Structure 1
């Protein structure tokens, strides 16, 4: 089995297919995020991290599949050190203190520990690409949050232009333009 398949099986064992999320289950959402990252040319490591990105819950989705204090080694043994660190950073991110001015301060604040970490260029790109792709998936699959989230992304993504990959930026522009277009009446 591949790492992707092993992780998919582990997510099922942990009940990801039984947890409601935008557009179905958490399991389906995680797969959509990983698939989009792959289609946008993300590294294999980031694609695997995308598949596990909510393993420790997130600031916007508190349900977790793994305990960040005791089970990081479990996830790391399946997806590797680098992918697990991306997953941890993403899940641990305090969005309020991190997101808005990330391009200026390049620092992610950990909501679990209260510590902050300044990221290098590649780590920032992975963090921002995963964040944008995740939020776009929620935007497309959660009609109740779409308007508010769309407005937020239209304001936030330009702040991250210097951090995100060109492919993710282009995809986000296309999706956000579709969200702005009036929907035909049926």
Structure 2
């Protein structure tokens, strides 16, 4: 992981500002959260690089999409594919589907190409885990972020729960407990 972190620094991640400081600090903390949940190395490395091509929420990109093969050489093809999936997500199209999907597949929309395709379980599980780790890092770092987005995130994560590990589920429920909607009696 150290080699990938140094490569990330060489790509200039420390030069980008993020919500609560430098982007590199956010990326490293996201990877640490995933590690604390017992994520495999592919998911952890993807967490470290999850904003390499920019995201719907963070428009700046460290690396041009034309350099995907170089990133794959650094972090491995599987991790790079997850990084691309995460960066390319059109959140306005994809996230609402989790709350109403039930038995329907999530139709993923690539914000770079406009391509749509059904998200497989093999894609959905690490994608959701990475989404929760990324957003929780921001929640942990900023009370104002938590207050502004906590209810929305809790609702999204509840809908993603079938795709999450028990540790990720416990982490978001603990961090966002104040936003849980109590069950109404029948």
Q: State the TM-score, normalizing by the size of structure 1.
A: 0.89
2:61 to 59, 64, 68: 64
Query: Is contact 2:98-2:156 (8 Å) kept?
Result: no
Is 1:88–2:84 an aligned residue pair? Answer: yes
RMSD of aligned residue pairs (Cα, Å):
1.6
Q: Extract structure 1 runs of 4+ deviating beyond 3 A.
A: none
Q: Which residue does 1:117 correspond to in 2?
A: 117
Q: Which runs of 5+ in 1 are unaligned?
A: 181-186
Asked if structure 1 preserves the Cα contact closer than 8 Å seen for 2:154 and 2:179, the reply is no
Partner residue of 2:184? none
Does structure 2 retain, via aligned residues, the 8 Å contact 1:75–1:84? yes
| Residue 11 of structure 1 pairs with residue 8 of structure 2 | yes
Describe the SS at the equivalent of 2:62. coil
Q: How many residues align?
A: 176
In structure 1, the partner of 2:45 is 48
CA spacing shift, 1:108–1:156, aligned 2, 3 Å? same
How big is each residue's C-alpha offset from its partner over 1:33-81, in whole Å with a ceiling of 9 and x where there is no partner? 001101101111000000000000000001111111x110110011111
Q: Distance in 2 between matches of 1:20 and 1:179?
A: 28
Q: Which residue of 2 aligns with 1:101?
A: 97
Q: Deviations over 1:2-55 (max 9, x none)?
A: xx2222112111211121113321001100000110110111100000000000
CA distance in 1, matches of 2:3, 2:118: 31
Supply the distance in 2 between the matched residues of 1:142 and 1:18 (Cα, whole angstroms): 20
Greater displacement, 11-20 / 125-134: 11-20
Contact 1:12 1:27 in 2 (8 A): yes
TM-fit CA distance, 1:142 = 3.2
| Cα distance change, pair 178–40 in 1 and its aligned pair in 2 (3 A) | farther
Separation in 1 of the partners of 2:117 and 2:36?
29
2-side partners of 1:64 and 1:173: how far apart?
A: 31
TM-superposed CA distance for 1:118, in Å, is 1.6
Unmatched 5+ stretches in structure 2: 181-186
Which of the numbers 73, 76, 90 marks the counterpart of 2:69?
73
Is structure 2 residue 128 aligned with structure 1 residue 128? Answer: yes
Answer whether contact 1:100 1:159 (CA < 8 A) is retained: no
Task: Report the more deviating stretch, 156-165 or 98-107.
Answer: 98-107
SS of the residue corresponding to residue 114 of structure 1 reads coil
